[in-house]
Amino acid sequence: MNPPDSAPSLALPGRDTRYSQVARALFDDIRAGRYAVGDRLPTEAELQRRFDVGRHTVREAIRQLRNAGLVTARAGRGTTVTAATGTRRYVQSMNSVAELLQFTRATRLALLDRGEIIADAALAREIKGPPGQAWFRMALLRTAGGDPKPIGHINVYVRPEFRGIADEVEAHSIVFSRLEQRYGVQLFELEQELSAVRLSALEAKRLLAARGSPALRIVRRYFSADRRVVQMSVGIYPEGRFSYATRMHLSVPG
Amino acid sequence: MNPPDSAPSLALPGRDTRYSQVARALFDDIRAGRYAVGDRLPTEAELQRRFDVGRHTVREAIRQLRNAGLVTARAGRGTTVTAATGTRRYVQSMNSVAELLQFTRATRLALLDRGEIIADAALAREIKGPPGQAWFRMALLRTAGGDPKPIGHINVYVRPEFRGIADEVEAHSIVFSRLEQRYGVQLFELEQELSAVRLSALEAKRLLAARGSPALRIVRRYFSADRRVVQMSVGIYPEGRFSYATRMHLSVPG
DNA sequence: GATTATTTGTTCGTATGTATT
DNA sequence: CAATACATACGAACAAATAAT
């Protein structure tokens, strides 16, 4: 019942190289149990003869299996099958808050508005905190280069004791990093939610876009070590002005 | 106090090999900014002369940097520095592709359409591959529970040799995981881009939504170990039906 | 737009070193 | 100690992708 076209296994596409053919063949053998966990693979010399390839090719094929976590090789002993299927974990990692938020480029922030507010039910839900709590709110406009049209509009909420950052936001063009540096706040966790919305009248006016037109909405919650929200922001980015990109890769243990 | 680098960063063998010496030298250059992010490294030939080693040694050194995620190499173009440090602070990690894509809930896929196509310039750019390549396209509708309105519309492109999955997509309600299990494809890297768009006429019709209304657009590229795209998908999710959430935390305990 | 030059990718060969049996 | 097996390192040639002319 195997479809005739279903042969490949370790999927190294593009141009089908010799080493990927060898790697696939060995992977199939492992997956089918012809080489069980704990067994040794044939030696490099044997694999050279079996597949009629050079040594580099064999080694490159085995390197694929090693990277996939299926075998381990040691000089003098041989190459041992350690797993029939890779234990996989995918990781996205970033070096700084700025990188996390993808505003390392030359963008600027303009402070439109500020003031203290008491969280109503809706805001409390978004902040994931109790209603009735006081927050300091800033309305910001992010612009890039000489473009008159802003990239986005951001409502930032910080705890009232941090209201002082309002004075430095424009100069530094970033909010949270200032919190870290001025108040020693350490980010422990960041939560993001991305969705599509349509622009409200106020947003449209500030962003020089059409009311009701599509926009990317990004809600971010910044947690400190004690798991409490120290900052929350709601960014609105009209279509075509900003896209959010992430990259996750397979992490290879050991 | 100078932070003691805190990171060995490069996985090196016990013995101090030539290639690891070269790798360290280049790593230091990158970290010191002598090769900035975006710059090209010297060519293999130049590095051979500079370090007085053979080509395999240079290539092995660069392979270390590649595995560390500091550089990317491409034929004809050269080797580009993509990051300056391996000390990563914020990490998001997932255990499976399904978890990555956030469709662990009870959702289903319906196959609307399928067929082989040749990548034109626009599609090639989105796939990040060369134009003129053949791809197998599937148009899918994702629905949840008994809700008649679909969550989203997805165009999936896979390499032609994997066309067989079209037969199992509906039964398993997920595409890439089937590729993994049926063809042994190992995901190495996943790239995502999220943006806001307005619904086209066809999308609006299929999604039972208003034409031109806002939607979340998610482009995903699936890379295998050799950094080539094995699958690409473009998902369209009308406002209010789906939001994308991530959570990143500080990696170092304490 | 086609051609050429440059640069990395793949593949062969060979020799020697190091770890294990 | 000797044999075996992977690790490192040299060289050479051609293919494929990209950039320059």
Measured from the CB, is B75 under 7 Å from any atom of strand C? yes
The DSSP call for residue A161 is G
Buried b (16+ CB within 10 A) or exposed e, A73-86: beeeeebbbeeeeb
Instruction: Delimit the CATH 1.10.10.10 region(s) of chain B.
Output: 18-81
Q: Determine the Cα–Cα distance for residues B189 and B224; give it in Å rounded to an integer.
A: 7
Give the minimum alpha-carbon distance from B18 to chain A in angstroms, rounded to a whole number. Answer: 18
Q: Which of B126-130, B170-174, B212-216 has the lowest mean pLDDT?
A: B126-130
Six-digit token string for A128: 């994931």
Q: Which of B195, B229, B243 to mutate to test the interface with A (most CBs of A within 10 A)?
A: B195
How many angstroms from the chain centroid is the CA of residue B13?
29
The DSSP call for residue B70 is S
Nearest-nucleotide field for B52 (CA, C1'): D10
Angle, CA B182 vertex, CA B181 and CA B185 arms, to 5°: 65
Give the three-class secondary structure for A160. Answer: helix
Residue in A170, A75, A155 with CA at minimum distance from that of residue A115: A155
Give the three-class secondary structure for B65. Answer: helix
pLDDT tens for each residue of B162-205 = 899 999 988 888 888 888 778 777 777 888 889 999 999 999 99
Q: How far is the CA of B45 from the C1' of D11 (A)?
A: 14
Question: In 10 A of CB B201, how many CB atoms?
Answer: 9
Six-digit token string for A214: 């599509």
B237 vs A: CB within 8 A: yes
Q: Is the dihedral of CA B163, B165, B168, B173 positive or negative?
A: negative
Q: pLDDT higher for A188 or B104?
A: A188
Q: Determine the Cα–Cα distance for residues B223 and B191; give it in Å rounded to an integer.
A: 8
A234 vs B: CB within 8 A: no
Measured from the CB, is A59 under 7 Å from any atom of strand D? yes
CB contact under 8 A, B90 and A91: no
Report pLDDT for A106.
65
The one-digit pLDDT tens for each residue of chain A (254 residues) are 222 222 223 433 346 788 988 988 898 898 888 999 888 999 999 999 999 999 999 999 999 888 878 888 888 889 999 887 765 667 776 767 777 777 655 678 899 999 999 999 999 999 988 899 999 999 999 987 767 889 999 999 999 999 999 999 888 878 888 888 888 887 888 888 999 999 999 999 999 999 999 999 999 999 887 788 999 999 999 998 888 888 787 664 32
A3 vs B: CB within 8 A: yes
Closest residue of chain A to B181, computed from CA coordinates: A9
Measured from the CB, is B73 under 7 Å from any atom of strand C? yes
CB contact under 8 A, B187 and A214: no
Which fold does the domain A18-81 belong to in CATH? Arc Repressor Mutant, subunit A (1.10.10)
Considering only CB atoms, A8 lies closest to which of B87, B161, B197, namely: B161
pTM above 0.75, yes or no: no
The DSSP call for residue B120 is -
| A65, B128, B194 from A12: Cα distances, Å | 12, 17, 27
Assign domain A90-245 to its CATH superfamily.
Chorismate lyase-like (3.40.1410.10)
Instruction: Delimit the CATH 3.40.1410.10 region(s) of chain B.
Output: 90-245
